[in-house]
């Protein structure tokens, strides 16, 4: 088990989103859950909290989150990740899915 948090610079999120929060994935063996919420935090940072069952990959997590914050306007959001040993290739997909749901809704 490893827990860490960090905020990354990101362009502000669109003023209007379809939902106030969005969830992608489930907490289960080999999977992970990403919760993305609008909040009152600084509008130019994406605040991230990660809890993972597999320690030792902090650098990869931070690099992936930094890239996401750079590629998508996600400033003013809070990202909470619960990871149960998901393959690394799944992380970005779940982030993108949560973001897509937040902006455009579930359909």
Partner 1 sequence: MNTAKTTLRRQNKAQRLERVARLARGKFVSPDKVPEVLKRIIEPGDRLCLEGDNQKQADFLANQLATLDKKDMSDIHLVMSCITLPAHIQLFKKGMIRQVDFCYAGPQGTAVADFVKAKMFPVGAIHTYNELYARYYIDLTPRVALIAAAQADRKGNLFLAANTEETPAIVEPTAFSDGIVFAQVNEIVDKLPRIDIPADQVDLVVQAPYPMHLQALFTRDPAAITDVQVLMAMVALRGIYEKYEVQSLNHGVGFNTAAIELLLPTYAERLGLKGKICKYWMVNPLPTMIPAIEAGWVESVFAVGGEVGMERYTAARSDIFFTGRDGSFHSNRAMGQLAGHYAIDMFIGASLQIDVNGNSSTVSKNRITGFGGAPNMGCQPTGRRHPTKAWLKAGAEANPGPGSPPGRKLVVQMVETFQAGRVPTFVEQLDAAEPSIRKALHGVTPVMIYGDDVTHIVTEEGIANLAACRSIAERQAAIRAVAGYTPVGLKRKKRETEELRRRGIVQLPEDVGVRPAEASRSLLAAQDIKGLVRWSNGLYDPPPQFVDW
Q: Which residues of this chain interact with partner 1, rule CB under 8 A?
A: 24, 57, 59-60, 63-64, 70-71, 87-90, 92-93, 96-97, 100-101, 104, 106
| CB 57 to partner 1: min, Å | 8
Residue 38 or 70: the one with the smaller Cβ distance to partner 1 is: 70
| CB 66 to partner 1: min, Å | 9
User: Which secondary-structure segment (H or E) carries 103?
Assistant: helix 88-104
Residue 35 or 41: the one with the smaller Cβ distance to partner 1 is: 35
3-state secondary structure at position 61: helix
* CA 42 – CA 47 distance, rounded (Å): 9
Residue 39 or 85: the one with the smaller Cβ distance to partner 1 is: 85
Residue environment code for 35-59, b if the CB has 16+ CB neighbours within 10 A, otherwise e: bbbeeeeeeebbbbebbbeeeebee
State the CB neighbour count (10 A cutoff) for residue 29. 8
| CB 16 to partner 1: min, Å | 18
């Amino acid at each position: 088990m490893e827990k860490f948090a960090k905020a990354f610079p990101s362009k502000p999120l669109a003023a209007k989103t379809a939902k106030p929060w969005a969830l992608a994935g489930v907490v289960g063996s080999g999977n992970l859950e990403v919760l993305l919420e609008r909040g009152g935090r600084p509008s130019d940072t994406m605040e991230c909290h990660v809890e993972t069952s597999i320690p030792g990959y902090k650098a990869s997590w931070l690099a992936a989150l930094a890239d996401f914050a750079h590629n998508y306007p996600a400033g003013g959001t809070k990202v909470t990740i619960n990871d149960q040993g998901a393959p690394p290739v799944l992380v970005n997909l779940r982030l993108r899915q949560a973001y897509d749901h937040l902006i455009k809704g579930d359909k």
